[in-house]
Amino acid sequence: MNQVKHYDMQKKPLKEKFFLTPIAFLLSFPSIWSRHLKVNKVNMKGLKPPYILLCTHHAFIDFKVTTRAVFPHRPNYIVAIDGFIKREWLLRNVGAICKRKFTNDTQLFKHIKYSLEKLKNIVAIYPEARYSLIGTTAILPDSLGKMVKVLNKPVAVLNMHGNYLTQPVWNLEMRKVPLKADLTQIITQEEASLLSVDEINSRIQKAFVYDEYQWQKDNQIKIDFANRAKGLHQILYQCPSCLKEHVMDSDQDRIWCTSCGKTYHMDVFGELHAKEGITEFPHIPDWYEFERKNVRKEIESGTYYFEDDVIIDSLPNSDGYIRLGEGKLIHDHTGFKLIGPELELNKTPLSMYGLHVEYDYFGKGDCIDLSTLDDTYYLYPIHQKNVVTKLHFATEEIYKIEIEKIKKT
């Protein structure tokens, strides 16, 4: 691996090449027109680039919605390293800025600053850093407020609706769902210099609140899709009836426990109904938060621990993955420890506010990824199945606990 060329993170961002702009519009607009996208702009009158655009993150169609929302302007996008595979030239020339997920990256800050101050562009950032797992707001880093304060530029938030329902991360089959987006300037140029970091973070967090299943119900959006619940067990891995973990399964419009047999039906408006007995969580995100609370209890009681053998793929550059072989992954209250062939990586709790997970990634199985500043390791558990969602919960909750300790002192 010492002989492998790593992605050059030092290269400055570019303005999008003029000949690529029409192509970007042509690739984006048909998808959103067919879904009747409506963009509701609030407090945006008179706002022109440069400014910071913070976007919710649901599915690949997010980028198409963002393209329409800021039309006719073209932003510099923050894009994860895996997005650059086999298309580095294209992404660099449409203004994309490469990022390795959940790393403390000072070079990224410099690129954002350069894009705002020198290129005079919008910079589009997806701070949740991965697609929403259950259609609700993911954890946001406190560093957002510090970044806004230092950059001293206006901030707008693009809160998108329908994108998650169109293609949830646990089942990538496309559904035809109407789209809506709220584009709101939440911080003016003057406010960026006057507000405290805490006040800035408070405004961002308020603007980022969303619940796609509630939005579906409130707007009576009917998704009569045969496989609408298929794959949902990857997110809802713990049975709320018998409390056993990693025993759920799903298909078509049903999710059930393979241990106690309890079965739930998902209706066309996204609500669950038990076939027999009580329905513990009609609202799907409530089941998800029930699992989070149980993981938190394990951490607080000192019983949380994960260990498994993993297959390790490396992604040092945009050429593609390199198979390193097998290793061991451990996760507990001290963070992640990865031991592999000529490799040892430790990720402390405060170094990661979240965790990127994938389900059956390119047919290779569920995985998580851990990054350094110059490499990303995709890790596939070998023996334990359907565990990556729990690892995601544990990463977030361990981070929150450490932040709470710091605030107390």
Identify the pLDDT of residue 104. 87
The encoded tokens of residue 306 equal 């994960």
Are 130 and 354 in contact by the 8 Å Cβ rule? The answer is yes
With a CB cutoff of 8 Å and minimum separation 6, the contacts of 172 are: none
SS3 content of the chain, % helix, strand, coil (to 5): 30, 25, 45
The encoded tokens of residue 120 equal 């005079």
Q: Which fold has domain 305-408?
A: PH-domain like (2.30.29)
User: What is the number of alpha carbons within 13 Å of residue 395 lying toward its C-beta?
Assistant: 24
Tell me the C-alpha distance between 243 and 245, whole Å.
Answer: 6
Write down the pTM of the prediction: 0.95
Which residue in this structure is represented by tokens 């995601």? 392
With a CB cutoff of 8 Å and minimum separation 6, the contacts of 278 are: none
Are 395 and 242 in contact by the 8 Å Cβ rule? The answer is no
CA 349 to chain centre: 18
* Per-residue model confidence as pLDDT tens for the chain (409 residues): 777 899 999 999 999 998 999 988 888 888 899 999 999 999 999 999 999 999 999 999 999 999 999 999 999 999 999 999 999 999 999 999 999 999 988 999 999 999 999 999 999 999 999 999 999 999 999 999 999 999 999 999 999 999 999 999 999 999 999 999 999 999 999 999 999 999 999 999 999 999 999 999 999 999 999 999 999 999 999 999 999 999 999 999 999 999 999 999 999 999 999 999 999 999 999 999 999 999 999 999 999 999 999 999 999 999 999 999 999 999 999 999 999 998 999 999 999 999 999 999 999 999 999 999 999 999 999 999 999 999 999 999 999 999 999 989 8
Identify the pLDDT of residue 54. 98
Q: For residue 77, list its beta bridge partners.
A: 124
Break the chain into its structural domains and give their ranges: 21-218, 232-268+271-300, 305-408
The encoded tokens of residue 107 equal 């070079």
Tell me the C-alpha distance between 335 and 274, whole Å.
Answer: 37
| Extended strands (E) in 32-134 | 38-42, 52-55, 76-80, 97-99, 123-125
Tell me the C-alpha distance between 329 and 336, whole Å.
Answer: 7
Q: Which fold has domain 21-218?
A: Glycerol-3-phosphate (1)-acyltransferase (3.40.1130)
Tell me the C-alpha distance between 85 and 321, whole Å.
Answer: 9
| Cα-Cα end-to-end distance for the chain | 42
Sheet holding 376-381, edge to edge: 343-347, 335-340, 322-332, 306-314, 376-381, 367-371, 356-358
- Which SS3 state, helix, strand or coil, does residue 243 take? coil
